[in-house]
């Protein structure tokens, strides 16, 4: 009698029968509980390849200052796509506003690139400083933080050599809620 009770528990339930017979739900991977199995050597090797590629082409970074506020906040954790292999300890996260050959200037709180005023609705506030007309040299870029008045960037040290660019911002994967 007890064996009959155990066997009745192993029969498919009404919910399982509905899920497997309803046409729109047939694609669901949970119809076959095989996805819960250990992936084995093949899956382990795939995981190793993904880990190797991840560590080769991307990097996790922490935002220590407010120079990119309001786009990035202090404490945000971001993913950076690495362009060059150098892993330096001091890294600045900035926005490229002009490339080689462009003429850059800032006056009356407006950034001008090649004589055209830039619409910057992402900055914290208009810059209070002035940058005289500067032409960006070859193999250089002009970078500014979104918090223009509180950023250590090209308005302080001039155009940045392209060789100093470590990577490209991809996304913010964690934003602390207590800040």
Q: What is the pLDDT of residue 3?
A: 36
Tell me if 88 sits within 8 A of 71, measured CB to CB. Answer: no
Q: Which domain holds residue 80?
A: 4-18+59-173
119 lies in a domain? yes
53 lies in a domain? no
Q: What is the pLDDT of residue 55?
A: 80
Using left for φ > 0, alpha for ψ between -120 and 50, and beta otherwise, residue 172 falls in beta
- Active-site residues, by number, are 67, 94
Q: What is the pLDDT of residue 45?
A: 83
* For range 11-39, the mean pLDDT: 54
Reference 94, options 108, 78, 109; nearest CA is 78
- The verdict on pTM exceeding 0.75 is no
Tell me if 126 sits within 8 A of 155, measured CB to CB. Answer: no
pLDDT tens for 85-131 read 566 677 889 999 999 999 999 999 999 999 999 999 999 999 999 99
39 lies in a domain? no
Q: How far apart are CA 4 and CA 168, in angstroms?
A: 63
151 lies in a domain? yes
Residue 135 β-bridge partners: 103
68 lies in a domain? yes
148 lies in a domain? yes
**Residue 105, domain CATH:** 2.10.109.10
When divided into structural domains, the chain yields a total of 1
110 lies in a domain? yes
Strands 58-62 and 77-82: antiparallel
41 lies in a domain? no
């Amino acid at each position: 009698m007890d064996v009959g009770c155990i066997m009745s528990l192993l029969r498919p339930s009404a919910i399982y029968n509905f899920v497997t017979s309803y046409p729109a739900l047939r694609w669901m991977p949970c119809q076959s509980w095989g996805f819960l199995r250990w992936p084995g050597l093949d899956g382990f090797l795939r995981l190793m390849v993904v880990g190797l590629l991840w560590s080769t082409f991307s990097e996790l970074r922490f935002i220590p200052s407010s120079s990119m506020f309001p786009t990035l906040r202090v404490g945000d954790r971001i993913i950076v796509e690495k362009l060059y292999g150098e892993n330096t300890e001091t890294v600045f996260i900035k926005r490229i506003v002009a490339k080689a050959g462009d003429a850059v200037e800032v006056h009356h709180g407006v950034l001008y690139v090649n004589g055209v005023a830039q619409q910057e609705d992402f900055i914290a506030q208009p810059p209070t400083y002035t940058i005289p007309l500067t032409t960006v040299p070859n193999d250089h870029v002009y970078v500014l933080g979104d918090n223009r008045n509180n950023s250590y960037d090209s308005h302080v040290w001039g155009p940045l050599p392209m060789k100093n660019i470590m990577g490209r911002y991809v996304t913010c994967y964690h934003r602390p809620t207590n800040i």
